[in-house]
Amino acid sequence: MNIVFTARKSSAVFHAIKGNFTGPDDLNLILGKGTRVEVYLVSSDGLKMVKEFGIYGEIACLEPFRPPGHNMDMLLLTTTHYQMLTLSLRLSSSPSGAGAMATIAPQLSILSDTYTDLQDRHARPSEAGQIVIMDPTSSLICCHLYQGLLKCIPVNPNSPIVPSGRTGTSGGQSTGRPTNPSRPSTRSIDSTFLDPFDLPIDEVTIMSMVFLHGCQRPTLALLYQDKKEVRHVKTYEFDLKNKDKSETGWAQSGLSGARTCIAVPAPIGGFLVVGEYSISYFNPAQTTAISITMNATIMQCYNHIDQGTRYLLGDHKGMLYILVLEINNNAGSSSNRFIPVSGLKLESLGTISIPEALVYLDNDHAFVGSHLGDSQLVQLHENPDEQGEYVEIMETFTNIAPVLDFEVVDLEGQGQGQIVACSGAFKDGSLRIVRNGVGINDRAVLELPGIKGLWSLKENLDATTEDTLVMSFLNSTRVVRVTPDSEMVQEELEGFLSDTATLLCGNAQAGLLIQVTEDSVRLIAPPQHIQAGLISEWKPPAGELISIASMNGTQCLVAVGGKTLVYLDIGSEVVKKVGQTTFENEIACIDVNAIDGGDRHASQVCAVGLWTDIKVLLVRLPTMEILASHDLPGDILPRSLLLSRFEGVPYLLVGLGDGNLLTFVLDATLSSLPSPKKISLGTQPVMLRQISAAQAEDGLAPATVSTAGKSDHVFACSDRPTVIYSSNRKILYSNVNLKQVATVASFNCTAFPNALALVGSDEESVLRIGSIDEFQELHVRTVPVHESARRIAYMSSRKCFGVLTTQIVCEEPETFGTTRIVACDEEEIGFVRLFDDQTFDVLDSYELQRDEAPQCITAVTFAGDPTSYIAVGTADTISEGVPTKGRILILEVSETSKLKLVTELEVQGGVMAVKEFQGKLLCGVNHRICLYAWKTSEEGTSDNNLKLECTHRGFILVLSLAVHGEFIVAGDMLMSMTLLRYTDKKITEIARDSSMDMLTALEAIDDETFIASDNASSLFTLVKNTETTSEDEAKRLQWSGGWHLGDQINRFKHGSLVMANQEGDAPAIPKLLFATVSGAIGVIATLTADKYELLHRLETNLSKVIRGVGGLDHSKWRQFRSDQRTLPSTNFVDGDLIELFLDLTEDEVNKVMMGAEGGEAIDVPVVEVTKLIEELSRLH
């Protein structure tokens, strides 16, 4: 029983359109990303996202649609399951609710106008995919969904007009939520459309189709391919009254390489046919076509710039072109309703990401949507730059799709996994390092060795900015002020001791400063003060030194002589001793941060940590009475303390010397210490420093910033630095992307707004000033490869990655006549590349043979040989269909990071999968599984080689392998999954799945349970049938559960992206990560039976209260689907839907818990359900 979460949403852009969706005068960009829609407002400042929502379907087509008489556009979309929706988007005038969008933009409501099911179970789907187009007069929508059939949907000319502009209602929703909390208004299909009808056509393989402009009746231009693979174009005219069509008599044949039709708007009219070698303009009103030739390429997308004379075209190589139609305004008679085209001109503008969609926005700006690379906002220039490019990239939108393979590793030794993924393709191929936590973006880095302490100073206690840093060294202290121009100026403050180390420095009342050294506590007036210099000082008794200090705005506590705690009042212009107490053992750490809800610059308690007997105390001020005491477990000393308040709840945090952190939840009286919770943050002492909310919340998503009360944010300095914060009253921990931090201070100055000042380890000797990225987000680092990265394996012994890549090389183009036209012979060359695991520099490369393609790679250590190797499997590229030969290569990585071929073995068939297995090499070779042992060289020779130990046949084509203990799981191209066991040097079949699912990935969860994904974007689990007494049933893997994801998974891996052991009572165990074609990263966790039953009921109830956009049904969306069967979702829970429970209003929560709308009542307290979901959300 499993729960599935999305850790990172899909990032590939498959569809992009523009229109006036949120208001008559708003220019919007709409992106379709698989199962999600993003809505942007185009402004002078760039693109601003105003809405993001998911649908219970995978988007097949996305088009703007404006019914007659309307002044705003609607969204028309179809799904891969042949559902059609039209949606209206409306901005409300006053945001309300607790959704994330309410904090940054007016609420956007989604109105479901129509929904209809276009599925025809008896028809054959179109090979070219769905095509949905609209007549220019908005009178007809034509869909080509199935072979030999056109679905025609007439638009109702009297359809009701939706009120335009911004509404006064607040039907908004949180980002990513499937639908509004308020009920969407759903209209009958008859209100916008008339009854649809089908029209049969003789043309089976439709390549492209468009409606022509300026025609009296809806006229369709159809590009199709016949049985001899010859391409033609013809036109049909529609008779909507009689629900019929007829050929116009105009046609063109023999259009070699033609791929796309582009309608040209009136008054020019006609259409363009874009091919691989030429572009032609046709107009049935003109007798001749206008054509130009070009170097061979595949134009993948287009968009018009103006009224139809200029078009942007993007090709499969990532080149952007502009096509210009040259027109003759003086040609033709006055009776001709079209302006003749006299010529075509094609020019290259420059390099972009390989485009999937192009949208010209406005003012020479265009959006490039990409599946294989990052999407881009570009500006077009009239004059070229130094590289001859007319394109300037203004903004990049990170996309990790498609993820072909990945590894989960702990590269920085921070106790949590990171994904290193093979992403993109061709020139946009890359490695992407994906990690969870907090990113620190360096704003300034200074070489300053020997910093022992660091504090920031403000003009006064109530100021919100700091402009001064105090740095303590072994025997001195420096004061540095940062000017608005980012210049650092050393200051000499009168009364401030600079020739000794400082233990503590901070702001006090009345604009004064406190400096604590081992000899005194000094109250200092800064230069701008009337009485500048030292105005008061307190010294410990003769012969005793101050060892530790803590302060707030009016109080200072110091440890004197090791065991005595002295309480000093610094709230007036004199340092006055108020009280003291002496403990039996030495004081290890103290803290007097004010958290008791009264004066934020004064506290009624302080916290004390002691050596020897190893305990923490709460001490009342000013009486010095011990309120509570707690003995710490083990013999590890407390090294730092911090009293903090998270979302109104008081905590005591204790950093230990071994890298662990203890958290005590305090009561309102701050007079008791209950049992703490423990988490491991690192391996070295943890030093706790509070950072201001300005710095922390700058990195928090709006939904995680507390609205219930001020919430602290804590930086835990150690060898694995961590930021501690709270969300939904749950303490969360985010790793920082730095290897070690010794101390930190908030530093929000004019030159570096909302920044932190950080000191690294003694070895690093640098002071860095940086800003905080989002908390607990997946941060992506890009390593461009500029070729397709296909497979990856990590070799920990050499701290490097082996990556299989392919590069497209083009031979010398052929020449046709006097015009140089491509006839470029493209060849794919494979490589084994070696990347450093820290810098990701290419260390070495090994080129494969020209007639083979790399298929698989793994790191392997053979039994009896301590050397680690890289094993690579290849397949020949000459054979048609199933490869007839391949090679197994064993490569050694030397100490100098060079690749050396140790041995190679040619086999009969393609080596499609390799795995290390019990000190041997397991290979999937065409229809068989082979296990190879390592034969080490005899003394005096260097001939190590592979020896075939055993073989198992019975497959069509083995594409994937997984191992667990003595078990082997094999995924076949057509025959689903087979479970095998290796014993006594033999591989024997235990059981197999009887279905014929085409698998894309598989993994073993444990010895009994196995998971797989198929080409229909579904997941399913199979288990060994250990309870049956029937021999036949025991040989069949038993169906355990199935679920539709809506995205194709390419790889499963064991691992987690969150810090291990955040809290030991997790309600689910994270088992697997997966990555998809659209760039999504998901988490699968195993649930206990009782947790599954509760969450399954909650999921059902939520789906009835939170309705899907457009009325799409959640339960139908999550049904397991394959080419052979459709089954209800079983033993899987939709974690993304479950998490929406945390965003519901009180009324909606009550409906869910009561089982409204036909659900089942849940008799578990709401607080327990909320706590469970919060804990689950921390799994990703």
pLDDT at 709 over 50: no
Instruction: At 1093, give phi and psi (nearest 5°).
Output: -60, -45
Q: What is the band of 728 on the pLDDT scale with cuts at 50, 70, 90?
A: low
pLDDT at 928 over 90: yes
Residue 665 covered by a domain: yes
Same domain, yes or no: 789 and 768: no
pLDDT at 672: 86
Average pLDDT estimate for 988-1002: 92
Q: What is the band of 1030 on the pLDDT scale with cuts at 50, 70, 90?
A: confident
Q: Which of 907, 1170, 1134 is nearest to 6 (CA)?
A: 1134
The more confident residue out of 472 and 286 is 472
Q: What is the band of 669 on the pLDDT scale with cuts at 50, 70, 90?
A: confident
Contact 543, 534 (CB under 8 A): no
468-474 — which CB contacts under 8 Å span 24+ positions? 469/745, 469/747, 469/757, 470/502, 470/505, 471/767, 472/501, 472/502, 472/503, 472/505, 473/501, 474/450, 474/501
pLDDT at 646 over 70: yes
Same domain, yes or no: 471 and 581: yes
Counted domains in the chain? 3
2-8 and 1132-1134 beta bridge pairing: parallel
**Residue 26: burial class (beta carbons within 10 Å; 0-12, 13-18, 19+):** buried
- Distances from the Cα of 368 to the Cαs of 34, 304, 311, 351, 352, in angstroms? 16, 13, 14, 11, 8
Same domain, yes or no: 855 and 741: no
CA dihedral 624, 628, 633, 634 (to 10 degrees): 30
The gap from C-alpha 858 to its chain's centroid, in whole angstroms, comes to 26
User: Left (φ > 0), alpha (ψ -120 to 50) or beta: where does 750 sit?
Assistant: alpha
189 Cβ contact partners less than 8 Å away, ≥ 6 residues apart: 114, 115, 116
Contact 515, 526 (CB under 8 A): no
28-33 and 36-43 beta bridge pairing: antiparallel
Q: Which of 1085, 1167, 1088 is nearest to 1134 (CA)?
A: 1085
Q: Measure the CA–CA gap between 6 and 1082, rounded to whole angstroms.
A: 4
- Of the three residues 1034, 1060, 1086, the one that is the final residue of a domain is 1060
Q: What is the band of 599 on the pLDDT scale with cuts at 50, 70, 90?
A: low
Residue 482 covered by a domain: yes
The more confident residue out of 1174 and 519 is 519
Residue 982 covered by a domain: yes
Same domain, yes or no: 932 and 1007: no
1081 Cβ contact partners less than 8 Å away, ≥ 6 residues apart: 6, 7, 8, 400, 403, 419, 434, 778, 1057, 1073, 1074, 1075
Whole-model pTM: value is 0.84
pLDDT at 791: 98
Same domain, yes or no: 427 and 448: no
Same domain, yes or no: 757 and 639: yes
Q: Measure the CA–CA gap between 199 and 469, rounded to whole angstroms.
A: 77
- 775-803: per-residue pLDDT in tens? 657 889 999 999 999 999 999 999 999 99
**Residue 1128: burial class (beta carbons within 10 Å; 0-12, 13-18, 19+):** exposed
Instruction: At 952, give phi and psi (nearest 5°).
Output: -130, 125
pLDDT at 171 over 60: no
Same domain, yes or no: 766 and 797: no
Residue 400 covered by a domain: no
pLDDT at 940 over 90: no
- Distances from the Cα of 92 to the Cαs of 175, 177, 355, 1080, in angstroms? 16, 17, 34, 31
Q: What is the band of 705 on the pLDDT scale with cuts at 50, 70, 90?
A: very low
- Of the three residues 1038, 1060, 1082, the one that is the final residue of a domain is 1060
Quickly tell me which residue has 């406190």 as its tokens.
514
Residue 512 covered by a domain: yes
Q: Measure the CA–CA gap between 388 and 347, rounded to whole angstroms.
A: 12
Rg of the chain (C-alpha set): 34
Same domain, yes or no: 794 and 749: no
User: Which residues on adjacent β-strands are paired with residue 293?
Assistant: 278
CB atoms within 10 A of CB 541: 9
Residue 900 covered by a domain: yes
pLDDT at 819 over 80: no
Contact 690, 593 (CB under 8 A): yes
Average pLDDT estimate for 55-64: 96
- Distances from the Cα of 901 to the Cαs of 10, 898, 905, 915, in angstroms? 39, 10, 11, 19
Q: Which of 238, 74, 234, 60 is nearest to 154 (CA)?
A: 238
pLDDT at 718: 92
pLDDT at 759: 94
Instruction: State the chain's mean pLDDT as an integer.
Output: 88
3-class SS shares of the chain: helix, strand, coil, % to 5: 5, 50, 45
Q: What is the DSSP string of 925-993?
A: ETTEEEEEEEEPPPTT----EEEEEEEEE--S-EEEEEEETTEEEEEESSS-EEEEEEETTEEEEEEE-
Residue 1131 covered by a domain: no
Average pLDDT estimate for 81-99: 68
The more confident residue out of 409 and 183 is 409
- 18-52: per-residue pLDDT in tens? 999 999 999 999 999 999 999 999 998 889 999 99
pLDDT at 1060: 60
pLDDT at 1171: 86
Q: What is the band of 333 on the pLDDT scale with cuts at 50, 70, 90?
A: very low
User: Which residues on adjacent β-strands are paired with residue 300?
Assistant: none
Same domain, yes or no: 736 and 875: no
Same domain, yes or no: 556 and 680: yes
pLDDT at 847 over 50: yes
Same domain, yes or no: 537 and 606: yes
CA angle 1022, 1025, 1031 (to 5 degrees): 130
Contact 988, 969 (CB under 8 A): no
Same domain, yes or no: 736 and 868: no
Q: Tell me the residue range of the domain where 1039 lies.
A: 976-1060
Residue 279 covered by a domain: no
Contact 112, 75 (CB under 8 A): no
Q: Measure the CA–CA gap between 47 and 105, rounded to whole angstroms.
A: 13
DSSP 709: S
Q: Measure the CA–CA gap between 712 and 647, rounded to whole angstroms.
A: 8
- Of the three residues 1036, 1060, 1084, the one that is the final residue of a domain is 1060
CATH code, domain with 606: 2.130.10.10
Q: Measure the CA–CA gap between 1122 and 1101, rounded to whole angstroms.
A: 26
